[in-house]
Amino acid sequence: MEWVNAVVQGVLLGALYALLATGLSLVFGVMRMVNLAHGDLATLAAYLALVVVQATGVNPFLALPVVVPLMMVLGYLLQRLLLNRSIDHGPLSPLLITFGLSVIIQNVLLDVFSADSRGLDAGTLENESIHLTDQLAVGVFPLLTFVVAVVVLGGLGLILARTQLGRALRATSDDHTAARLVGIDHRHLYAVALAIALGTVAIAGIFLGIRTTFGPSDGPTRLISAFEAVIIGGLGSLWGTLIGGIVLGVAQALGNQVSPSFQLLAGHLVFLAILMFRPHGLFAPASARQT
């Protein structure tokens, strides 16, 4: 029963990783750009929520309607004013710029909020749980995280599949010059993509902040988890990202069951195994596998 419990908790934790990875997956899919500041932006969102909570005393969930739009605006401006300038100069420039951004965000957070670990307090919800059987219980908050992750990924999937914005994002990903020829302003579209990505990052950052404590230099660790979820699931597949997150979460939970010190290592080992035996991930679209 302990093992079943570990798998269930792992699935729920994995959804959080998937939520964190969504934006990374989208940005890479549309712009072929790896955003090394991704994890730090999630941490930034958690701190912004902390500011809102401290200023108003509201529940951190109520900070979402403030922080999510704020991060989306930040994403749009970041792409439009900074990253678009570098994106035509090959993959290295955006990599260096986002790396620099990562360092800057960490140091600004350190300067403003000190090195102390902080947390977002969602009240009694954090400790409530539902008993499925005598021995198996799931926490209400992890369950809520799972539902939110599925809704966000599913919603984004629907936007990509069904709307003109989604078609425009996929078309630009295919061929950005041809996209200009149908009237798409690819620079605007890139900015919209980063705005959407940072919207999902904001949600992930706040849920992470409620689940665990966070500090100014946590970003890179978050980035690694997100990366692993994206790669395990397969680049360019949103549902693959959800499965990737869950595989990572379950691997960590099972590793933890063996020995608590084995938790993170188990996740990394599964990631390594996937890289060795299925380098395109579990659910890469056929088009990605050909290249």
Partner 1 sequence: MSLLEVEHVSSFYGDFQALYDVSLAVDAGETLAIIGANGAGKSTLLNVISGLFPNRGGAIRFEGRLIDRLPAHLRVEAGISLVPEGRRVFPSLTVRENLLIGAYRRRTGRWDVPAVLELFPLLAARSERRAAVLSGGEQQALAIGRALMANPRLLLLDEVSLGLAPVIVSQLYAAIPQIAAAGTTVLLVEQNIEQALAASKRVCCLLEGRIALSGRPADLSRDAIVTAYFGI
- Closest distance to partner 1 from the beta carbon of 174 (Å): 4
Amino acid at 249: G
Residue 89 interacts with partner 1 (CB under 8 A)?
no
Location of structure tokens 């509201």: 58
Which residue's CB is nearer to partner 1, number 137 or number 288? Answer: 288
Which residue's CB is nearer to partner 1, number 102 or number 173? Answer: 173
- Closest distance to partner 1 from the beta carbon of 163 (Å): 10
Q: Residues 185 to 224: which contact partner 1 by CB under 8 A? A: 185-186
Cα gap 196→22, rounded to integer Å = 10
- Closest distance to partner 1 from the beta carbon of 171 (Å): 5
Which residue's CB is nearer to partner 1, number 118 or number 187? Answer: 187
- Closest distance to partner 1 from the beta carbon of 175 (Å): 6
Instruction: Number of residues interacting with partner 1: please give it, by CB under 8 A.
Output: 20
Alpha helices in the chain (DSSP H): 2-31, 38-56, 64-77, 84-86, 92-113, 140-162, 164-174, 176-181, 186-211, 219-233, 238-258, 263-277, 286-290
Which residue's CB is nearer to partner 1, number 51 or number 171? Answer: 171
Cα gap 232→34, rounded to integer Å = 16
How many CB atoms are closer than 10 A to CB 69?
13
Which residue's CB is nearer to partner 1, number 184 or number 282? Answer: 184
Cα gap 145→164, rounded to integer Å = 29
- Closest distance to partner 1 from the beta carbon of 34 (Å): 20
Q: Is residue 7 within 8 Å of residue 69, measured between CB atoms?
A: no
- Closest distance to partner 1 from the beta carbon of 229 (Å): 22
Q: Rounded to the nearest 10 degrees, what angle do helices 2-31 and 140-162 cross at? A: 30
Per-residue binding string, partner 1, 97-136, x by CB under 8 A, is ----------------------------------------
Q: Residues 148 to 187: which contact partner 1 by CB under 8 A? A: 164, 167-168, 170-171, 173-175, 177-186
Amino acid at 240: G
Q: Is residue 204 within 8 Å of residue 20, measured between CB atoms?
A: yes
Which residue's CB is nearer to partner 1, number 165 or number 275? Answer: 165
Which residue's CB is nearer to partner 1, number 193 or number 201? Answer: 193
- Closest distance to partner 1 from the beta carbon of 29 (Å): 10
Which residue's CB is nearer to partner 1, number 136 or number 165? Answer: 165
- Closest distance to partner 1 from the beta carbon of 280 (Å): 15
Cα gap 128→60, rounded to integer Å = 17
Residue 287 interacts with partner 1 (CB under 8 A)?
yes
How many CB atoms are closer than 10 A to CB 128?
12
Q: Rounded to the nearest 10 degrees, what angle do helices 38-56 and 92-113 cross at? A: 30
Give the footprint of partner 1 on this chain (CB under 8 A): 164, 167-168, 170-171, 173-175, 177-186, 285, 287
